[in-house]
Amino acid sequence: MFLLSSCNIYKFQILITDSPNLFNPIYISFHSSTFDSIRFSNPRFFRATMTAAGNFFSPIFTSPPMFDSVDRPPTKLGFAKFPANFSPECRRFTVSASKNLAPMKAIDVDVKSNGCEAVNDCDGSIGFDNTRNGIKSTNVVWHKCSVEKVDRQELLQQRGCVIWITGLSGSGKSTVACALTRILHARGKLTYVLDGDNVRHGLNSDLTFKAEDRAENIRRIGEVAKLFADAGLICIASAISPYRKDRDACRSILPDGDFIEVFMDIPLCVCESRDPKGLYKLARAGKIKGFTGIDDPYEPPLNSEIVLQQDGEVCPPPEAMAEKVISYLEAKGYLQA
């Protein structure tokens, strides 16, 4: 284990590798002040880089046994505590590289030896390794604002959340979403609908209907919905979202309880008989490939908060379905601050 003892430090980047040849490097970046500690589980080699005014210093050395446990005595501003055998030249360059930068924010980060998991501060951005799209977000710091979600909710007299309506094409997702937002608007609640087709006219206009693009489509909708919920709005996302893992990923980025999954459990034969956009007919004729429910699977939710179904052979009006969702929101306290 490597432990950097307590110091005020500025811009700090660590490269971790399992090989002295620096294969498969993993970068973790920090911007911090009143730095408590950095802990890494058994990295054998690492490079510390501190930058300031265009200068940088990059010593590479093997983690000695003494790094397994280091006390944290008080240190002077701008100085890191290194072992006695750390050369004076290394110390001099390290200190001079940091002296002109202002301290920022403190964090305590744990990284597995493979570098694939980091536990960062509660805002979730410092030292964050974003591998969802094969892209790593580094050198980013979450800037905390004095006006927070709770303040916006108090202003709006409601709690921000995401109502995620999923189901086959033609199941009535968009119709229920519009009915829901209309009823809530009449009650003085601020909502916004993210419709799966509408977002493909702008935000997601660069995406196709291939599996990987569908996953990215849902990821983007989920991230935007999260922002709306953080703003204190009741965001209603209406999208087929056929794959369970993609919906679960959207759930995972929201606080517990703030992702409300609504499953439009309408039989395929009913959806196909409606065919409001003529897409089922095209899919059956082979003119559309990868159409959900025909030649591409739909994975129904296993534990959705709300299930909307037909009453026997009769499908309830969208307003009645919307009222069921509103009853859930009232019971869970989302319609008051």
Q: 78, 98, 119 — which closes off a domain?
A: 119
pLDDT band at 313 (very low <50, low <70, confident <90, very high): confident
Please list the alpha-helical segments (H only) found in 231-317. Answer: 244-252, 268-274, 279-284
Q: Are residues 159 and 32 in the same domain?
A: no
**pLDDT tens profile 119-171:** 333 343 334 444 444 556 778 888 999 999 999 999 999 999 999 999 999 99
- Return the pLDDT at 88: 59
Full-prediction pTM beyond 0.75?
Answer: no
pLDDT at 28 over 50: no
- Return the pLDDT at 236: 98
Q: 119, 137, 167 — which closes off a domain?
A: 119
The answer to whether 218 and 247 are in contact (CB under 8 A) is yes
Q: Are residues 114 and 213 in the same domain?
A: no
Dist. CA 104–CA 171, nearest whole Å: 51
Residues annotated as part of the active site:
241
- Return the pLDDT at 66: 42
**pLDDT tens profile 239-281:** 999 999 999 999 999 999 999 999 999 999 999 999 999 999 9
pLDDT at 96 over 50: no
Dist. CA 186–CA 192, nearest whole Å: 13
Q: Are residues 103 and 194 in the same domain?
A: no
- Between 330 and 81, name the one with better pLDDT: 330
Q: Are residues 193 and 287 in the same domain?
A: yes
Q: Are residues 112 and 259 in the same domain?
A: no
Q: 119, 138, 159 — which closes off a domain?
A: 119
- Return the pLDDT at 337: 84
Q: Are residues 191 and 324 in the same domain?
A: yes
Give the bridge partners for 28, in sequence order: 14
Dist. CA 226–CA 164, nearest whole Å: 11
Q: How close are the terminal C-alpha atoms of the chain, in Å?
A: 45
Q: Which domain holds residue 279?
A: 149-331
Q: Are residues 103 and 167 in the same domain?
A: no
Average pLDDT of the chain?
74
**pLDDT tens profile 164-196:** 999 999 999 999 999 999 999 999 999 999 999
Q: Are residues 195 and 113 in the same domain?
A: no
Q: Are residues 109 and 166 in the same domain?
A: no
Q: Are residues 97 and 37 in the same domain?
A: yes
Q: Are residues 107 and 160 in the same domain?
A: no
Alpha carbon separation from 62 to 95, 111, 188, 211 (Å, rounded): 20, 18, 62, 44
Q: What is the CATH number of the domain that holds 157?
A: 3.40.50.300
Question: How many domains, in total, are found in the chain?
Answer: 2
Pairing of strands 60-62, 161-166: unpaired
Q: Is the dihedral of CA 117, 119, 124, 125 positive or negative?
A: negative
Q: Are residues 239 and 97 in the same domain?
A: no
